[in-house]
Amino acid sequence: MRRPMIASLLMASALASALPVVPNSALAQAPTKPTLSVDPSQLPPIPPVIPAAQREQAVLVATGAGAAIGVILADIVTGGLLLAPLGVPSAVSLVGLGGGAAGAAAPVYSAAQRFFAGVATIAVAVGGGYFGGYVARSRPDIVGLQE
């Protein structure tokens, strides 16, 4: 039983050596991988690069403008009671919305009224400055940083 097995193995090896040789490249060919094609015309435009110094300058200007506009608007809304205790001409009197007589005597404000008017003015200026800086950072096109 051993001999027929050895004979069959020898016969199989002889047949295998007589077969034509298949090149390795034909055996190693795998299916091609998919490729990624990008159409540059379909991509969004690259945002412009703005120097950091110019961006910070625009943010500072917008912060100051926001603070000034906030104080003026708050003074107009309060009817001049925001800046009047501080001895500053109110925006209401400068714009002409006051309606009061020009010859009337200025009211006298207590120290507490002056203190609270100062705190309120600082709070409004900080809030307006924060809003102006926020607008400049989030929407640079509004402050003229993008063409």
Dump the DSSP string for the chain. -HHHHHHHHHHHHHHHHHSPPPPHHHHH--PPPP-----GGGSPPPPPP--HHHHHHHHHHHHHHHHHHHHHHHHHHTTTTTTGGGTPPPHHHHHT-----TTSPPPP--HHHHHHHHHHHHHHHHHHHHHHHHHHHH-TTTTT---
pLDDT band for 119, please (50, 70, 90 cuts).
Answer: very high
Which residue is associated with the tokens 């009337």?
104
Q: How many CB atoms lie within 10 A of CB 135?
A: 17
Tens of pLDDT, residue by residue over 59-106, are 999 999 999 999 999 988 888 888 888 888 877 677 665 555 555 566
Q: Does 76 fall in a domain?
A: yes
Residue 4 lies in a domain: no
How many distinct structural domains can be found in the chain? Answer: 1
CB 81 within 8 A of CB 121: no
Does residue 15 belong to any structural domain of this protein?
A: no
pLDDT digits (tens, 9 = 90+) for 14-70: 767 766 665 555 555 666 777 888 888 888 888 778 888 888 898 999 999 999 999
> Is residue 44 in a domain?
no
CA distance 106 to 93: 12
User: Could you list the residue range(s) of the whole structural domain that residue 125 is in?
Assistant: 52-97+108-138
**Is residue 23 included in any domain, yes or no?**
no
pLDDT reading at 127 higher than 90: yes
Examine the pLDDT at 147 and tell me if it is beyond 60.
no
Q: Does some domain include residue 145?
A: no
- Provide the residue type at 71 as one letter: V
Q: What is the mean pLDDT of residues 122-142?
A: 90
Let me know if residue 131 belongs to a domain: yes
Instruction: Specify the amino acid at residue 61.
Output: V
